[in-house]
Amino acid sequence: MGINLDSRYQEEAYQEVKKSLEEIKKAGIILPPGTGKSYIALKLIEDTFEYNDQILYVSPSPTINARIRKLIKQNYDKQIAQKILSKVKFTTYHGLHRRYKDNKQEMREYNSETIILDEVHRSGAPEWGKAVDYLLETNKEAEILGMTATPLRNDGQDMIKKICGKPAYTLEISEAVARGVLKLPLYISARHIFREDIESLEEKLELVEDEKQRKELEEKLRRVKKQIENAKGLKEIYEKYLEKNGKYLMFCNPGDDIEQLQEQARKEKVFDGINTKQTYLRVESTKTERENIVALELFERKGEQGLKLLYSKNMLIEGIHDEEITGEIMQRPTKSYRLFVQTLGRVLSRDRKTTPVVLDLVGNIKYFKQFRLEVQNIIKEGIKRGEVIYDPKVLENFKIIEEQEDFIQAFEEIEESLKEYLGQGKYLKNAQEIEEWCKSKFEGKKVWERRLPKRYLKDEYENKLGQKLNDIRCKVLKKYEGQELEEIKDEEDRKIVEIIRNLDKEYKISLEDKKKIKKQAEMENEAAKALCSEYETELKTKEEIKGENK
């Protein structure tokens, strides 16, 4: 028994890891979800545990750590598994930070000859990063392996580059699909028009002052509502695509009440047409570690009859992968292509025998089409170069079914028209214009010299930008005071809030703080000048003494 690596890419990846560890004691690998990063880590553990006193495995969640323990037990006989587990210490980035914050001296228990950082991009979080930096600083002789599918964080940090230097091996998800390593799902775009969507549009329609335009849009919406009444509901969509004994991940919005959603599904018998035997589970970032692990174990348990539904809020986007998952249901619009690919990755798997289903209820299909185009271009270029690892038949597997496309398109047209009439698009453009002005005007400037555009100044352009910024604060930011970005469902508003909040961090400095910062800098500058002067005097004295001696 032991770890057998995939000859198509894992063996090469592992050889590059060993080479990098020998040269610089650090190695970073970038592999997409479903391609088995964990097996490369396990192979490293297998090859090093006998001569290491301790190997440290750090991940973002205890559920990932529990999975690694499970894989060790599955891939080795009982005696070897026990030996390996006696040498491997597991913790999370949160656990590291808690120990670092409470008592740095206790961080010594994490001192190890080999440190594996799973989902290493998470180590760049502001608080967690301090603990990781301290860990690496106090373990300078340790071999470091960093693994992730997405090394680049939203704040611009490349964590593979920061911690491991140049990546030892990279395989992009689109490349893995183009080579046939990952099997694609059946993608069903069935954007569901919820009652809340209709009510939101009706409220916005009341704000359209032009009576003719308002009546035209109201008539369009009336026709769409009639089509919706005659169209398939969620129950029919589910019954058409979900399997009787399937396991499905339900990705929810950060603001959703999962208990309420599950109770509503039971009450309305949403899934009864598929199977009356149903198991409702949930994982949430607000639940305890043990509760989430138990829910996941129940979801993965084999040989059980019935429909299993695991509702996820702020969890399972990364690091979790079960090849028996039948599919996933997207009830959460993703705010970026990167996040979409991570979500999609939960059902992508190498050499999978069955075809999983992705049921998109929120209009994420634009990202899937972007993904398809990327893979198509890779295959075409590979074939041109004469490389046999690319198979054009892969493109035949990009199956997309678009349910109820006719009235969905009409509904989205009304949404776009309202954005135009109500000037919603202008706020994002204005935010981007303000961002560009700040960067171009204060690039390379001292902290105390930076600022946001002001109103009531002689500079006409800055005056206009100041007015636009004030308008954004009143019309957009005020609505989301106290909310995290992930809780903002409107994609455009989320982008606006993100831009302005980042600008506030970098450029919104009070006059008092500016004075303090400037004074501190001046003091440091004066101290540096005094030091230089002292050094010059000392040097001059030495030269004079040297001359006298001559």
Q: What pLDDT tens digit does each residue of the chain (550 aa) get?
A: 688 998 889 999 999 999 999 999 999 999 988 888 899 999 999 999 998 999 999 998 887 898 899 999 999 999 999 999 999 999 999 899 999 988 888 899 999 999 999 989 888 877 788 899 999 999 999 999 999 987 877 566 788 999 999 999 999 888 888 888 888 888 998 876 666 677 777 777 877 777 888 888 888 888 777 766 665 678 888 999 999 999 999 998 877 889 999 998 999 899 999 999 999 999 887 787 678 778 887 888 888 899 999 999 877 655 566 667 889 999 877 767 777 887 888 888 776 778 889 999 888 888 888 888 888 899 989 888 888 888 788 877 778 887 766 667 777 777 777 776 666 567 888 888 898 888 878 776 777 778 888 887 777 888 888 888 988 888 888 888 877 787 787 777 888 899 999 888 888 776 555 556 556 656 655 555 555 555 455 555 555 555 555 4
Cα–Cα distances (Å) from 475 to 71, 423, 498, in that order, read 52, 11, 15
Query: Is 371 in contact with 336 (CB distance < 8 Å)?
Result: no
> 36, 350 in Cβ contact below 8 A?
yes
| Integer Cα distance of 424 and 355 in angstroms | 40
Spatial distance between the Cα atoms of 6 and 449, rounded to a whole number of angstroms: 55
- Of the chain, the end-to-end C-alpha distance in Å amounts to 80
Could you tell me if residue 442 is left (phi over 0), alpha (psi between -120 and 50 degrees) or otherwise beta?
alpha
**DSSP-derived pairing of the beta strands 349-350 and 182-183:** antiparallel
In angstroms, rounded to a whole number, what is the distance separating the alpha carbons of residues 347 and 327? 6
Side-chain-side CA neighbours of 299 within 13 Å: the count stands at: 28
Decide: helix, strand or coil at residue 138: coil
Q: What's the residue count for the chain?
A: 550
How far is the C-alpha of 59 from the C-alpha of 117, rounded, in Å? 6
- Cα–Cα distance for residue pair 67/118, rounded to 1 Å: 12
Contacts of 88 (CB under 8 A, 6+ apart): 45, 49, 54, 55, 56, 57, 72
Strand partners, 400: 187
Structure tokens at 204: 């916005």
Q: Which of 431, 549, 539 is nearest to 494 (CA)?
A: 431
